Amino acid sequence: MKLRILHVTTITEWRGGDAQMYQLYGLLEPDPDFEQWILCPADSVLAGKCRDDAARCVTYAKTRLKLLNAVRAIVSTCRRERVDVIHAHDSSALNACLLAMRLLPRCVKLVLSRKRNNPIGGNPLSRRKYANRRIARIVCVSDAVAGVFDGVVDPSRLLTIHDAVDVDAIAALGRHGRAHREFGLAPGTRLVGNLAGHTAQKDLPTFLRTAAEILRLKPGSMPVRFLLVGDGPQRAQLEALAAELGIADAVVFTGHRRDGLELLAELDVLLISSVTEGLPLTVYEAFAAGVPVVATDAGGIREVVHSGRTGFVVPTGDSAGLARHVLEILADDTLAERLRAEAFALVRAGHTPPVFRDRYRAFYRGLAGP
């Protein structure tokens, strides 16, 4: 029996969660046991990708009545397409799905993908929302994310499925000096960067303070520059801080880029300074691209960045520790190569699209049981 799945997202930007959802859609499309639809805002990046790829997509207007519009779209799609499983891919999508479930038969099952490890235990409304018995399962991107549900959701309803990346495609990108040419950097300049939205969660002020520390401590013969790939509400604040720290000339704010993976592949070190994370997709991408990772101990990062083996992990906010490990990698080619090799082996073994597909295939088939 074919299982009909409706993926629901309310995000308009292109983020890691939607990237993984769209990858899952593509991986399951050839499987005759599944039929899928995507429901998303009409003005979202995802809607545009669906149009370009002729993916089955339903859109709704994200206006002042966005919640009502989403609920109506969910209910009408489920009734028209006889949907068996609704898969909510963000918290706001879950709100709409829970309301829609009141108008749908109990045979329709609701699952949630949880990407972030923000605490929920102290908020009574959040506890009630996630404990709702209409949520059949919650799929977490890391064990750290699953941990936020301790005492809120029965462990039997939780499942961890780590994200995946196209290792072969990313590894094939290589380094061609495009970042040096575009940003006018001298050959041999070392690049340390971060790909993320400019939000409080990413703690990019710590990235900039780390950059200042690196510039203060590095050998004079080693040119280093920093790339912040992304955009967001803190952009102006971050540019002001870079000027205040006296490093504005050493930091390139690229803004949002569609070629983020190509820029990632040009880095010598990926520097992650987040205070909260599920487990950022960028880590897997860096592993596949052969870029060493230095990161803060946020969320599930430690589950794959094994300090001293596949990268380095320091406490959140520790700019001195971050700077020390970045400089170690930049100064020691043997260390950098060892980190690259172990990280690549890890992502190749457990975080490829076929592994991701098979785990979700088994998960969805399990939902179809009694």
The domains of the chain, with CATH numbers, are 3-164+352-367 (3.40.50.2000), 167-349 (3.40.50.2000)
Rg from Cα positions in the chain: 21
Q: What is the pLDDT of residues 323-336, one digit of tens each?
A: 999 999 999 999 99
**Half-sphere exposure at residue 358, Cβ-oriented, CA atoms within 13 angstroms:** 5
Q: What is the pLDDT of residues 257-304, one digit of tens each?
A: 889 999 999 999 999 999 999 999 999 999 999 999 999 999 999 999
Find residue 162's DSSP bridge partners. none
Output the pLDDT for position 370.
52
CB 93 within 8 A of CB 8: yes
CB 170 within 8 A of CB 270: no
Helical H segments across the chain, by residue range: 16-28, 45-53, 66-81, 91-101, 124-131, 143-147, 167-171, 178-182, 204-217, 235-244, 260-264, 281-289, 319-331, 333-350, 353-367
Q: What is the pLDDT of residues 174-207, one digit of tens each?
A: 999 999 999 999 999 999 999 998 999 999 999 9
| Integer angstrom CA distances of residue 217 from 40, 251, 307, 327 | 47, 16, 22, 8
CB 264 within 8 A of CB 291: yes
pLDDT category of residue 123 using cuts at 50, 70 and 90: confident
Output the pLDDT for position 121.
67
Q: In which order are the strands placed within the sheet that holds 312-314?
A: 251-255, 224-229, 190-195, 269-272, 293-296, 312-314
Output the pLDDT for position 134.
96
Average pLDDT score, the chain: 96
Q: What is the pLDDT of residues 208-246, one digit of tens each?
A: 999 999 999 999 999 999 999 999 899 999 999 999 999
- The total number of residues shown for the chain amounts to 370
Q: What is the pLDDT of residues 128-186, one digit of tens each?
A: 999 999 999 999 999 999 999 999 999 999 999 999 999 999 999 999 999 999 999 99
Q: What is the pLDDT of residues 44-67, one digit of tens each?
A: 999 999 999 999 999 999 998 999
Output the pLDDT for position 369.
64
Query: Is the confidence at residue 122, as pLDDT, over 80?
Result: no
Output the pLDDT for position 301.
97
- Please enumerate in sequence order all residues whose Cβ is within 8 A of that of 150, keeping only pairs 6 or more positions apart, or say none: 121
Q: What angle do CA 127, 149, 204 make, to 5 degrees?
A: 100
